[in-house]
Amino acid sequence: MNYGHANSHYTHYTHLSQRQGQISANPFAVHPLPTLNINGYHLRPIRAEDLVTWCAYLTRPEVSEHWSWQVHSPQDLQQFIQVQDWSQNLAQIKFAIADHEDQLVGTVGFHTYSKPNLSAEIAYDLAPAFWGIGIASDACRSLTNWAHQEVGLVRVQACVLDTNTRSLQVLQRCQFESEGLLKSYKQIRGQSRDFWILSHIKSTKR
């Protein structure tokens, strides 16, 4: 069981800021984060002290088996607490899903952001101790609606390994629509694997 969509993550950081005055600003950072509907949990920025906890559950086999993101140490997660250049296609953002003690239990965020196309890909993960109680669905739904209403994205998409049934169920509960199966879309531990692509399109109803 796994809740992650991370097929576009990388471990090299050429997109990180070298000179902050010359970068494209984070399009997500200027908007207040949405509240979660599930009691006792909230969203906040990721902090340096979160990285050890985050890495500890990301490297568990039951979490990592359904994605291609390679995380070996907290250092591999440093980009999420650094300023990134959003003119680069490797830029991405994650927000902490925190409990009532403000401790990280999961993350949710966006990558593959396209300003011209008003689109981005959502990704999330959750510590196994918190699976099955609706946190992932609530975070995915809240951040997707926020991306449409506050950030102005028309399209939010997700790519999910075909065996990742729990993540598919989360997306279906959040009214993402399947657009088809991407055959041999990505290499997972030396094997070509198929991924479902799903999308949530901003409503034009008034």
**Exposure string for 21-56, b = 16+ CB within 10 A, e = fewer:** eebeeebbeeeebbebeeeebbbeebeeebbeebbe
Decide if pLDDT at 138 tops 80. Answer: yes
Query: What does the radius of gyration of the chain's CA atoms come to, in whole angstroms?
Result: 16
Domain ranges of the chain: 20-154
DSSP 82: S
Confidence (pTM): 0.88
Q: Determine the length of the chain.
A: 206
**178 — phi, psi (to 5°)?**
-75, 135
Helix (H) or strand (E) holding 59: none
Class for the domain spanning 20-154: alpha beta
Residues 2, 180: contact at Cβ < 8 Å?
no
Q: Tell me what pLDDT residue 89 has.
A: 81
| CA angle in degrees (0–180, nearest 5) for 166-171-172 | 95
- Chain-wide mean pLDDT for the chain? 89
Decide if pLDDT at 149 tops 70. Answer: yes
pLDDT, tens digit (0-9, with 9 covering 90-100), for 42-88: 999 999 999 999 999 999 999 988 877 889 999 999 999 999 999 88
Q: Tell me what pLDDT residue 34 has.
A: 97
Q: Give the separation between CA 156 and CA 120, rounded to whole angstroms.
A: 5
Q: Tell me what pLDDT residue 168 has.
A: 96
pLDDT, tens digit (0-9, with 9 covering 90-100), for 104-131: 999 999 999 999 999 999 999 999 999 9
Minimum mean pLDDT among 4-13, 15-24, 69-78, 92-101: which range?
Answer: 4-13
